[in-house]
Chain A
């Protein structure tokens, strides 16, 4: 496929994903829209242009692994899993409803394609490290991707994990941070400042690259660049806009976890039409 066509298709897929997430969130009447819309472009690029995974062979031991450590953005993961053929549309639209298999935070025992149950912040990076460590032990080539929220990295366990990954030179691991700069109680720099962010990660022994988390074209080579440097774990800081793609939601603190309903639902539907 020509690369311009590929990029155009990816952009279309991302738009379609936004449209589907909007529907799922409206049906649910609750959920966490902001971080789902900020991280969907990264997830689309990972699932459609980077990772080796196959819904026909979901347990292939050589598949790349993805862990959504920011489990509250589950609707984005479910949408991508639908688009990849892991779940059907009816299931997707049952998001957060009684007796659905799609909870607000993903459960690996209930949803095909979900590699790890997540939701409590600060857990996913360690799990990704376990997978990456096992790959090294077994001399397997699969890569492990962990997507974290920026607020999530206030958890101390993240830094325990950060130390471990560089100590053991896990260069088959990529952590991506959805740097939308907003958490539940406000802007990260007001709630508990993360800056200087890049130098923190570098001092923990990671190779760091910053990129726009919405620039599909640039994301492809960057997310494919494991390892950025041999013997070092890779960290991608994806600068994003919380609620990206829905005008009233963009960069608004209150849209971390709020129901998409009424007039807002209609505006969101119009703005995300695929």
Chain B
């Protein structure tokens, strides 16, 4: 399947959206090539604000711009927005429910050998605990664009989380991202795989591998982690009894945690696949995903161990 770099897709698409909506402004903290906000700068230089390496101030400035009616889109790495500027995000943006969008990149362990300082394996847990915040982790190019459209239609803060690398195209024309809804990628009666972000592609591969063995796995892409689609989770639990969540994030407090909060007491077995509460070793993104078991092969093995026909 063709692959696309989601940062590049998002950067181009945001510049397009800003062509239609003059209230959109972009803020950057000295990472314009990495976050691809450079597209915005080229197309709309008068609405592009370079803030320097000062994320706390950047988020505060975005809040002020939102007070004046702008739609600020804050760019940086996931780790810096969710942790360095966390209090500004929580107190200065989310508490007064201001219309600020966070378009963060290099989430999860996608910065690879850059090391733990640049990984973000806690950001979903942090962001989804903040009232008023919408949290979206899109997994392919189509989903990224639809998520950006959706974010612009929300009058309040939205955190959109992208990895650094390329993502396979999974969405067909039939799939449609909606805030608060899971996207049913595959239907299955034996078990349900729930993914978020770029793990959608791994989930897709696993489902195909399982199909070869006669196991029908459903695949729900949960890009909208908050609000989360409770109905889809309850339906999946009733239908399949075995749920596997997969995320490039800590296995604590992220997608797996969110699913368990809904599934608790419903009698389903939920297996959370994510990073097991440790900082990762040194390695490329591919090496680390392998080590952390975030590959189709490993997910397949885990499912085979736990699935009873």
Contacts and interface: CB of A to CB of B under 8 A. Distances in A.
B95 A117 contact: yes
B19 interface: no
Nearest to B46: A137
A127 B63 contact: yes
Given A133-B64, A133-B65, A127 B92 contact: yes
B67 interface: yes
B45 interface: no
A218 B176 CA distance: 63
B208 to A, nearest CB: 48
Contacts of A117: 91-92, 95-96
Given A126-B57, A131-B67, A134-B64, A109 B91 contact: no
Interface string B78-114: 0000000001100110011100000000000000000
Query: Looking at A61, A107, A156, A160, which has the most chain B CB atoms within 10 Å of its CB?
Result: A160
Nearest to A126: B60
Given A126-B59, A127-B92, A133 B49 contact: yes
Contacts of B60: 123-127, 129-130, 157, 161
Contacts of A132: 64
A241 to B, nearest CB: 30
Contacts of B201: none
Interface in A118-148: 119-120, 122-135, 137-138
Contacts of B46: 137
Residue of A122, A126, A132, A157 contacting most chain B CB atoms (<10 Å): A126
B56 A157 contact: yes
Interface of A is mostly: helix
Contact of B57 (A109, A120, A137, A161): A161
A201 interface: no
Interface residues of A, number: 33
B57 A160 contact: yes
A123 B88 contact: yes
Contact of A133 (B52, B61, B95, B96): B61
A161 B47 CA distance: 19
Interface in A234-249: none
A126 B49 CA distance: 13
A137 B64 contact: no
Interface string A48-65: 000000000000010001
Interface of B: 25, 46-47, 49, 51-52, 54, 56-70, 72, 87-88, 91-92, 95-97
6 contacts: A107-B96, A115-B67, A123-B92, A126-B59, A126-B92, A160-B57
What are the 6 A-B residue pairs with the smallest beta carbon separation, nearest first? Answer: A130-B64, A126-B60, A134-B68, A160-B57, A160-B54, A127-B64
Given A133-B49, A156-B56, A157-B56, 15 more contacts: A61-B69, A65-B67, A107-B96, A117-B91, A119-B91, A123-B92, A124-B60, A126-B60, A127-B63, A133-B64, A134-B65, A157-B54, A164-B51, A164-B61, A167-B52
